[in-house]
Amino acid sequence: MIELSLFSSILHGSLRPWKLDKSNTKYYSKMVSNSSFSSLKGGVTQFEKELNEIAHEHKFNISKAENFQFYFDNAQQDSLAEIDLPLIILVEIQPTNVIARFFYYLIKNEATRLTNTLFQVLTKDMDESHKKALPYHFHTRIVDLLKDIPKTQVLIEPTDTLSIFVIETLKLQTIRLLLETEHLYEHLLEQEISDKYQIFGDYLNQDIPEDIFYKKSDKLSHFQDLIKFGEKEDNFKFPKSDRVSFGYKGDKKKLDSVLKQLQFQINLLNEDKTKVEQLLEILTSPNLALGTPLVYINCETTQFSHMVSKLEQHFISFNPTEIGNTKLFYSKKGNLIKRQNLYKNLIDEPKKMEEIDNIIKHL
């Protein structure tokens, strides 16, 4: 799961400015004078190396999940471009001493790195489930962090000017990260861009600014175009009829065996209501007509969502959108499973993930 480790460390961990030893100014001066750290000379990749050293120095971790390393390891395409400057411009408070400058560059460039990392991942080939789930989870974590910031701000002593500056900078750059994510992936998040009332009122519980509080960089539209360019159209298009099918591409006997093993391992179906044979027919049917049996899941929704993401490559259109559109699938609690339920429940490590993956490998 994405944790925004650096930002969290500033709020709650080893990088809390009021807990730091401020006597060691040589360390901060050295970092600020390093152009790879302060001005991203050498690009985001070089900054990431500097960040890893800072993480080691201050005892916090940048996880592989946060770096989306799995997707980079499995990517087939080269990068389209690199985001190395802010795409959303806000009015910033300028630092007045070397430690403040250290935090200013650290937070601002980390926001750039995070925006760039998600961009690199989402412009590569991946299944639809992950393509929508990743920005959703990323966005959710940003909002959670924004809501945490005021709780810290009220605890800072009025005389602690460094901490006031650092947390205000963190707030602004988190807002920037939120808006960059929303502007770049509005079509995947399927929600409107947050306005000042939502950001400052709902998330931060602070005064609403009277004026427009940000502007878009000239490069934002360029990267929005690259995202659209990098997305492939679905090659499977139904003729204009009522035909609905998941378009299974493999051996039906192998799928039957996989479903039976999943039933044994994770209790996939409520067999009082849905038999494995019925699910098999639904998944392989060339036309899901009216009267098709409903599918009652008996495993956790996180397990089912993971299973869908792993099975997706074996179908033409077996994904959360198509599953939701059929209105056939119901959760363990008897609720209709909608597209957003599956995206929201796609987590890094559901229960028995290894068993699920090993079974599906046999397709």
Residue 111 shares a structural domain with residue 178: yes
Residue 37 shares a structural domain with residue 160: yes
Residue 50 shares a structural domain with residue 133: yes
- pLDDT at residue 69, as a whole number: 55
Residue 186 shares a structural domain with residue 279: no
Of 213, 189, 185, the residue nearest 201 (C-alpha): 213
Residue 238 in domain: no
Residue 153 shares a structural domain with residue 215: yes
Residue 334 in domain: yes
pLDDT tens digits, one per residue of 170-214: 999 999 999 999 999 998 888 889 999 999 999 998 999 988 899
pLDDT tens digits, one per residue of 86-123: 999 999 999 999 999 999 999 999 999 999 999 988 88
Residue 180 shares a structural domain with residue 269: no
Number of domains within the chain: 2
* pLDDT confidence bin for 78, thresholds 50/70/90: low
Residue 103 shares a structural domain with residue 73: yes
Window from 13-22, 76-85, 230-239, 343-352 with minimum mean pLDDT: 230-239
Per-residue DSSP letter, 232? P
Residue 245 in domain: no
Residue 233 has pLDDT above 50, yes or no: no
Residue 283 shares a structural domain with residue 350: yes
Neighbours of 343 (CB within 10 A): 27
- pLDDT at residue 151, as a whole number: 94
| Domain end position, chosen among 230, 265, 295 | 230
Within 8 A by CB and 6+ apart from 26, the residues are none
Range of the domain at 180: 5-230
Window from 219-228, 292-301, 306-315 with minimum mean pLDDT: 219-228
* pLDDT confidence bin for 133, thresholds 50/70/90: confident
* pLDDT confidence bin for 73, thresholds 50/70/90: low
Residue 243 in domain: no
User: Which H/E stretch holds residue 32?
Assistant: helix 25-33
Average pLDDT score, the chain: 87
Residue 91 in domain: yes
- pLDDT at residue 225, as a whole number: 84
Residue 267 · residue 298 · CB < 8 Å = yes
Location of structure tokens 């931060």: 204
* pLDDT confidence bin for 234, thresholds 50/70/90: very low
d(CA 175, CA 195): 11
Of 140, 206, 218, the residue nearest 171 (C-alpha): 206
Residue 222 shares a structural domain with residue 262: no
Provide the token pair at 337: 């499973």
Residue 221 shares a structural domain with residue 90: yes
Window from 12-26, 43-57, 228-242, 275-289 with minimum mean pLDDT: 228-242
- pLDDT at residue 242, as a whole number: 47
- pLDDT at residue 251, as a whole number: 94
Residue 72 in domain: yes
- As a whole number, mean pLDDT of residues 261-288 equals 94
- pLDDT at residue 167, as a whole number: 98
Provide the token pair at 138: 């990323």
Residue 341 shares a structural domain with residue 198: no
Residue 113 in domain: yes
| Domain end position, chosen among 197, 230, 263 | 230
Answer with the residue of higher pLDDT: 286 or 165.
165
- pLDDT at residue 293, as a whole number: 87
Residue 242 in domain: no
Residue 191 shares a structural domain with residue 258: no
d(CA 258, CA 212): 55
CA angle 324, 330, 334 (to 5 degrees): 140
> E strands within 203-301?
214-216, 295-296
* pLDDT confidence bin for 238, thresholds 50/70/90: very low
